[in-house]
Structure 1
Amino acid sequence: MTRTPTATTGQRAARPASRREDIAAAAIELFLDRGIAATRVEDILAAAGVSVGSFYHHFRDKLDLAATVYLEHLQRFQSDLLVELDRHERTEDAVRGLVTAYLRWAGADPRAMGYLHQCRESNVAEISEGEEARLKQAFYGRLTGWLGERAATGELRALPNEHSLALWLGPAEQLVRAAIDPSEHFAAPEPDALVAHLTRAERVLADAAWETLRRPTTDDDADQARE
């Protein structure tokens, strides 16, 4: 039976955060290194330096912890990207800014981003699926709504939403996944080189996103005709 994680980020905000954050940080490290199934609550307690009582004050059990932390990081990631979107009036700046924000978020917190990509164990996915679907619907709804508005003004190409999103954030997602996920076919950079690796890609991927999403101008059409 599907369970709902104990609380969302907003509901937790009123409680003291330090021990809870210690538990969450320790859990992510262990979950990424060992997998959720192979990690015991005792392992998390030892790594976080907290008591059994402190753990169960914040979380029902290990699966509740795994699902809740996943949803909170997903919400934070999506919120940060939408803040970046709202910062920009110019369409080009927003397109480029979201690509850059994606890469910088991953560089600033690679373990959290890795957990977002790798937290797919079925029992945890079952617990989080309802809230995850709600968060993603709201997030992608905002993005597709914005894309539709800018296409209507003639600034962006009128493409199916799936195509626009893949062209916009797909390359950044693939680069990040390959950089932080050891199961990918590219060699992951060393932790101290990750930020530089992602930073070098910012201009390239931002340029590519804008060039593929922007509506061709009359000059572009003339150039293509000459070719």
Structure 2
Amino acid sequence: MSPKQHRGEVTAEQLLDAALRVYGESGGQGLTVNAVTGASGVSPGSLYHHFGSMDGLVTALLTRWLERLLAEMVTALERSDSARTGIRSLVRTYLAFIRDHRDAGLLLHSSRADELGMHRAKQLRDAQEARLTPLSAWVRRHVESGEVAPLPPSVLESLILGPVIGVSRRWLTLGDVDLDEAADVLPDRIWRSVSARPR
């Protein structure tokens, strides 16, 4: 990598880090070019050069943190020895990630993320294909083994992640959920909804 490329990467990282800080402090309304460039010490021209627009910056920020979350989820599943322990690890990993990265969690579960996801769903999904493939393969493997019910992948994804996302959103916005309690209760409840042999 040339020195110029390295400087460009450092600048892009500064902008992404600053954007997350601004978002955590001021919410979506405060996420402006002036706020991000002021917090990063980077010129507006550099922001437009690297990301094209504020939407481009937010998309890159969402992609960065989605990649990190998915990577941790895949690692949790790969370390599990059964579908049931995989669900438990996945739930606990997701909730721990949200607790440890609250600002990123706020962004990932924001209406802005939902809006971008609706308008750029295919682009975001294509960008995450490398991370999503192991998740899909894990689910398929446990459906084929007879542990997980043979439901459509989109339904399984909703049954597994829907409750975790709902609890995360509530903790981030209202703060009236105990994440430790959720991490204890949700895995077995979710497992019963996807198990091929619910008890």
Q: Pick from 188, 192, 195: which aligns with 1:207?
A: 188
Q: 1:54-98, CA deviations, whole angstroms, 9 ceiling, x for partnerless residues? A: 545643332321121111212222122112111223222112111
| 8 Å CA contact 2:77, 2:138 repeated in 1 | no
Given the alignment of the two structures, is residue 35 of structure 1 paired with residue 16 of structure 2, yes or no?
no
User: Cα 1:15–1:129, aligned 2, differ >3 Å: closer, same or farther?
Assistant: farther
User: Cα 1:162–1:21, aligned 2, differ >3 Å: closer, same or farther?
Assistant: same
| 8 Å CA contact 1:67, 1:127 repeated in 2 | no
| 8 Å CA contact 1:91, 1:155 repeated in 2 | yes
| 8 Å CA contact 2:62, 2:113 repeated in 1 | no
In the aligned structure 1, how far is the partner of 2:85 from the partner of 2:129? 24
Given the alignment of the two structures, is residue 216 of structure 1 paired with residue 190 of structure 2, yes or no?
no
In the aligned structure 1, how far is the partner of 2:162 from the partner of 2:185? 13
Number of residues of Structure 1 aligned to a counterpart in Structure 2: 192
Structure of larger gyration radius: 1
- Please say which of residues 59-68 and 87-96 is displaced more in the overlay: 59-68
Q: List gaps (5 residues or longer) in structure 2.
A: none
Q: Pick from 128, 139, 158: which aligns with 1:147?
A: 139
**Amino acid paired to 2:186:** L
What residue is the counterpart of 2:179 in the other structure? 198
In the aligned structure 1, how far is the partner of 2:196 from the partner of 2:121? 36
Q: Give runs of aligned pairs for residues 1-227 of structure 1, distance below 5 A.
A: 15=6, 19-31=11-23, 33-35=26-28, 39-52=31-44, 55=47, 58-118=50-110, 119-120=112-113, 128-135=120-127, 139-181=131-173, 187-188=174-175, 197-216=178-197, 220=199
In the aligned structure 1, how far is the partner of 2:128 from the partner of 2:23? 23
Higher helix share: 2
**Amino acid paired to 2:99:** G
Compare relative contact order (CA 8 Å, sep 6+) and give the higher one, 1 or 2. Answer: 1
User: Cα 1:29–1:90, aligned 2, differ >3 Å: closer, same or farther?
Assistant: same
In the aligned structure 2, how far is the partner of 1:68 from the partner of 1:140? 18
Q: How high is the TM-score relative to the length of structure 1?
A: 0.69
